[in-house]
Amino acid sequence: MRLLLASLGLLLVTATVQANDEFPGRSLYLDVPHIELDELVRRYDEVIIVDVRSSYEYDTLHIKKAIHISLSAPDYVDRMHQLREANPDKPIVTYCNGKTCMKSYKAARKALQRGVDNVVSFDAGIMDWAQNQPERSVLLGESPLDPQKLIAKSVFKQRLIKPEEFVGKANRDGNMIVDARDPLQRAGYALFMGKEHRASLADEKKMGELIAKAARTGETMYIYDEAGKQVRWLMYRLEQQGVKDYYFMSGGTNAFYKQLRDDFATGK
């Protein structure tokens, strides 16, 4: 009996460790309840689903019927309260990009701490949902989506270039350099003074014009953001409009400035 209990205990510990490895946020946000993919599929019609990412990410790919309330919006809490008042008996499910994205936990915690009850995190995120539920997903305004059009993380990584290499290649003539950071992130600093275009992901009109120009002229696009993550969602627009030659700065400007600090510290 003791051996059986010990074996069961070991299995539980192993399962917990594996879950924490796959979903690192669960051990960091122990106070935030979560919902698994299969349960959300079963309860899809019984819950309110909230996409807490940026509008650009939402417009690119989202769960069908999801309401967009960005975690960064000043009225996030007010809108969550309004949602609860309009739907007093339904669970509210928050989600973001995937298993290593912490926004769904942060959004659920913030709502719970401010008096919005019955809020849970769907921490598997949009990519797992879209692959599993293409008929309940929207890609670039179309639903159901074709799973073959989903861009894997491994494909995205093939477009990443380390900061030093990115700068060297981008500076060559005939390339289009795009600073995709938000104005507040940019804070007036340009990496390619006089050579780059500034078009945040939220400025879909200007970004769309630059993508269309690159598709027309065949220019290679070198695009960077702050952390090297948001640009992943640009790939869908770039591919859709036929831009074949484009690259992103791995780690974004955060990695670029870190490299500068490290070089300065080591005297390089």
Quick check: 165 pLDDT over 70?
yes
Q: Is 232 in a helix, a strand, or coil?
A: helix
Indicate whether 158 and 141 sit together in one domain: no
Quick check: 155 pLDDT over 90?
yes
Indicate whether 183 and 241 sit together in one domain: yes
Indicate whether 169 and 253 sit together in one domain: yes
In a domain, 105, yes or no: yes
Q: Residue 165 belongs to what H/E stretch?
A: helix 163-170
Q: Residue 68 contacts by C-beta under 8 Å, 6 or more apart in sequence?
A: 50, 51, 55, 58, 62
Looking at residues 171-179, what average pLDDT do you find? Answer: 95
Looking at residues 159-180, what average pLDDT do you find? Answer: 96
Could you tell me the CATH number of the domain that includes residue 126? 3.40.250.10
pLDDT band at 188 (very low <50, low <70, confident <90, very high): low
The tokens of 187 are what? 């804070």
pLDDT of residue 109: 98
Spatial separation of the C-alpha atoms in residues 196 and 188, rounded to whole Å = 13
Domain boundary (149, 181, 202) is at 149
- Contact call for residues 238 and 61 (beta carbons, < 8 A): no
How many Å is the maximal CA-CA distance in the chain? 75
In a domain, 77, yes or no: yes
Domain boundary (113, 128, 149) is at 149
Indicate whether 199 and 237 sit together in one domain: yes
pLDDT of residue 262: 87
Give the chain's count of helices (H) and strands (E): 13, 11
Spatial separation of the C-alpha atoms in residues 135 and 132, rounded to whole Å = 9
Indicate whether 127 and 162 sit together in one domain: no
Residue 262 exposure: Cα atoms within 13 Å on the Cβ side:
7
In a domain, 214, yes or no: yes
Average pLDDT value over all residues in the chain: 91
Tell me: the pLDDT tens digits for 41-63?
999 999 999 999 999 999 999 99
Indicate whether 143 and 185 sit together in one domain: no
Domain carrying residue 179: 153-261
Indicate whether 253 and 223 sit together in one domain: yes
- Contact call for residues 107 and 73 (beta carbons, < 8 A): no
Tell me: the pLDDT tens digits for 200-219?
998 999 999 999 999 999 99
Residue 30 vs residue 265, higher pLDDT: 30
Indicate whether 162 and 91 sit together in one domain: no
Whole-Å CA distances, 112 to 80, 102, 117, 122, 207:
10, 16, 6, 15, 36
Overall number of domains in the chain: 2
| β-bridge partners, 34 | 121
Domain boundary (149, 164, 199) is at 149
In a domain, 47, yes or no: yes
